[in-house]
Chains A and B, each alone.
Chain A
């Protein structure tokens, strides 16, 4: 059992420190686990969750199709006009847009879409771009927590635990909305002086021509209709017994067909390194599962929490948040899912529950929502806590809007703590009161 853990920790070290590209590290790790016979190749292959892979590929194709139409620039400039060029209102609306977009798109994609137009509008309005960009990363992580498809941890949890798209909407969206309202208020108070705009700069927004932003109106119309069907598919997935992965992938192909996109072009823009990173991690985790590592760790956590479910749930919330603030939350959640699954039967036995539905509602759900909330919201803790933070920093630095580790963490960390308090209270009120 010790050797596979050592290999895992070594690879994890490379992923966390980014000494080696994380995709390369994960795939070499998978090769080592299989090559050293810590897991059978067949078992490792079965561990690759194609539902997750299909969902990621499908959504990447969908986003690329939508991006090419110019719809995101249109949305941003429309909002700026709606705010009549008022800097603070624009900032608030942009955060709402970022959160909503990240609820349905990948966080990194969202910030890549938002950052350039944000910088342009900040230059236009002659207001500082740095605080707006930092907040966009923060709100993309918060918005991503709201749905099954919003953030990789949720995709993983949804796929591996039979929680549906609607379960996420019912259980994750309400606390996320509360967090958003609270933090938007705080943000508005903090930035009210920096975001002042002059009449001259507001005029520039007035004179903008949002309709010019739409480059492919026909494609956009078709793509939006197909996107609507894909979302409807997610909502109805449980009813129809169809997993989100195949809805996203098949839906993406329908979009490519209907919008007359070149499939080679569409697939070339899929981030295959991310896809293979997931595949490598899945295989590595399979080796650890094979050696019952997570069962042992689960037992350890149970001992630490004295067999108390509420203590375990809140520990998972805070632990996964703090851990996500420091390291990549994808491998963390991949490792935590089997751990959580392992401790569910122990609690069921302890509480004398036998009915599967009851076990799901009273034990599995609080544990998994704690994991999802912790892993998603924890990303805001530091600059390296989430890929969206890193990406927005890179974009900002390339555009002479420097963001440092501390200038990010100064805002991110208190916002994370505040959002975790809301999550803490939510879990307590919802499951233990």
Chain B
């Protein structure tokens, strides 16, 4: 299959929206996409419900993935086949905190969950290419936009890999950061793990919540069957007071789970669920950190999308 099979001419190729807000933009794109033909083909579909579903998905977690790209999408019971609309904006619109200029809006029937994931995978792969992205941003009419996508043989039967589901790098600490900074960063942002990155953007280790606690707690704690029999004793201040000034490089665990961009979805699911890895770090060919995959990314991409 090809992504162009899911587009309609000309409603799918939208240039020059002047919307300033995300929801306004989504509504505008839907209005263009939901032509009479479209509504006739999907008689049970309510356009307002579709908009609601799109917004609900955005509220759950933004679909912006960096590099000015976003994939607003919805799974719909009453849709007969998948649809794609591509919008290119002259001025960026904020998706959460991310400025977005290329919007790939995807509607998929609930019965075809893999289609939207594969479409997203293909489109993100295509648009991550700097030169393609530049060409898309410079397009001035819908026909040229369509030709651009047509030119890049947009088949979507390749299997999904790490590059398709990863999230761009966000939180990290440096080797010389103090642990107090790491634990603050993790608690403020609700992180389970944070990578330790060197000056070349390469990951040298990882600090997890579990590690932070295990490092401070004495070993005998782990040997006890329970501690409920002690009613009044809080030695934690003492246990953790020495910990605050330790450097990240001294506490980090060096065996980080790094994977290549081509790591398959099957392998990712296996590592995160069966092997209980907290977070996978995706590296490019030079070993630089380019993305992160954790369980919630997986939920977004495999179950909730």
Give the tally of cross-chain contacts (CB within 8 A): 67
Does B229 contact A212, Cβ atoms closer than 8 Å? yes
Does B220 contact A74, Cβ atoms closer than 8 Å? no
User: Given A120-B220, A395-B220 in contact, is the A212-B228 Cβ separation under 8 Å?
Assistant: yes
- Identify which of residues 52-69 in chain A touch chain B, using a CB-to-CB cut-off of 8 Å: 67-69
Stretch at the interface among B27-35, B192-200, B231-239, B296-304: B231-239
Q: A208 to B219, alpha carbons, bound, how many Å? A: 22
Partner of A215, one of B219, B220, B225: B225
Residues of B near A203 (CB, < 8 A) are 232
Residue of B nearest to A400 (CB): B218
Q: How large is the interface on A (under 10, 10 to 19, 20 to 34, 35 or more residues)?
A: 20 to 34
Does B229 contact A395, Cβ atoms closer than 8 Å? no
Instruction: Produce 1/0 per residue, B69-88, CB < 8 A to A.
Output: 00000000000000000000
- Identify which of residues 118-146 in chain A touch chain B, using a CB-to-CB cut-off of 8 Å: 119-120, 123-124
Does A116 contact B220, Cβ atoms closer than 8 Å? yes
Partner of A70, one of B220, B223, B225: B225
Secondary structure at the A interface, as helix, strand, loop or mixed, is: helix
Does A120 contact B227, Cβ atoms closer than 8 Å? yes
B226 touches A (CB below 8 Å): yes
B233 CB, min distance to chain A CBs, angstroms:
6
Residues of B near A210 (CB, < 8 A) are 229
A233 CB, min distance to chain B CBs, angstroms:
27
Does A213 contact B219, Cβ atoms closer than 8 Å? no
Q: A215 to B225, alpha carbons, bound, how many Å? A: 8
B274 touches A (CB below 8 Å): no
User: Given A207-B231, A399-B218 in contact, is the A116-B223 Cβ separation under 8 Å?
Assistant: yes
Tally of B interface residues using CB under 8 Å = 16
B230 touches A (CB below 8 Å): yes
Does A398 contact B219, Cβ atoms closer than 8 Å? yes
Residue of B nearest to A207 (CB): B231
Does A209 contact B228, Cβ atoms closer than 8 Å? yes
A112 touches B (CB below 8 Å): yes
Residue of A nearest to B238 (CB): A123
Residues of A near B230 (CB, < 8 A) are 77, 120, 124, 204, 208-209
A-B contact pairs, 25 of them (CB 8 A): A68-B225, A70-B225, A70-B226, A72-B225, A73-B224, A74-B229, A112-B223, A115-B223, A116-B223, A116-B224, A119-B218, A123-B233, A123-B235, A204-B233, A207-B231, A207-B232, A208-B230, A208-B231, A209-B229, A212-B226, A395-B223, A398-B218, A399-B218, A399-B219, A399-B220
Beyond contacts A72-B225, A213-B229, A399-B218: 20 other A-B pairs, Cβ-Cβ < 8 A, are A115-B220, A116-B223, A117-B224, A119-B220, A120-B221, A123-B233, A123-B235, A124-B230, A204-B230, A204-B231, A204-B233, A207-B232, A208-B229, A208-B230, A209-B230, A212-B229, A213-B225, A215-B225, A398-B219, A398-B220
